[in-house]
Structure 1
Amino acid sequence: MLKTALGRFRLSGFIEGASLLILLFIAMPLKYMAGFPEAVTVAGSLHGFFFVVYVLVIGYTTLKIRWHSKWVFSALAVAFIPFGNLILDRYIKRSFPTQ
């Protein structure tokens, strides 16, 4: 998976998407239901780091494989939608089967 630019993008998308899910479905309930605000501080910081890496990998992938702008905008948009990276990954696997 890490041998191609698209493989690196897919991996970073999984990590970024997982960090968003952890932030929304684990850290936020811990903060508001269990009174543990440190969970959001840690998970939010990690998610922010993974998001920045994800955006940089989008740029790298765009330059490396000459991505069309629809893929760039889609990749940026799904970063804000829970489970969005999983949906985009399915479309990428269909559209780029050899990568």
Structure 2
Amino acid sequence: MTRDDYRDIELAQLRRLEFASFVEGTTLLLLLVIAVPLKHLYGWPTGVRIMGPVHGLGFCAYLWFVIQTVTGGDWRTREIARVMICAFIPFGAFFNRALLSRKMASIRNGRKS
């Protein structure tokens, strides 16, 4: 494989992680902002029954993509901790976008991040 092939693989992994981060963050917000209040304020638990497993699946997929991405690339411990901790904080997944965008730009420009 050439250096460009490895670069393309790493960029694809970062794009998948970016998408998984968006899905995980969105499902967490839907769960916390819509489903949980509907359950507790209006007695409608169906939203939590639906969004809970959807978010759980999105969270597991996110963790899988984090593991795949950080093992294949040049990641600092601080960056790994950041992408992991942000998964537990509402809106945290959206803060990862800047880090992932910087890493993608760095790879495209041929520098290490």
Partner residue in 2 for 1:51:
59
Partner residue in 1 for 2:74:
66
Q: Secondary structure at the match of 1:79?
A: helix
Partner residue in 1 for 2:101:
93
Q: Secondary structure at the match of 2:57?
A: helix
Partner residue in 1 for 2:16:
8
Q: Secondary structure at the match of 2:88?
A: coil
How does the TM-score come out when normalised to structure 2?
Answer: 0.78
Please report how far the alpha carbon of residue 95 of structure 1 lies from its aligned counterpart in structure 2 after TM superposition: 4.2
Q: Which runs of 5+ in 2 are unaligned?
A: 1-10, 109-113
- Equivalent residues of 1:31, 1:38 under 8 A apart: yes
- CA RMSD, aligned part only? 1.5
Q: Which runs of 5+ in 1 are unaligned?
A: none
Identical pairs, percent: 32
**Runs of 4+ that moved beyond 3 A:** none
User: Where does 1:69-84 land on structure 2 (aligned, <5 Å)?
Assistant: 69-84=77-92
Please report how far the alpha carbon of residue 10 of structure 1 lies from its aligned counterpart in structure 2 after TM superposition: 0.3
1:40 aligned residue (42, 48, 53)? 48
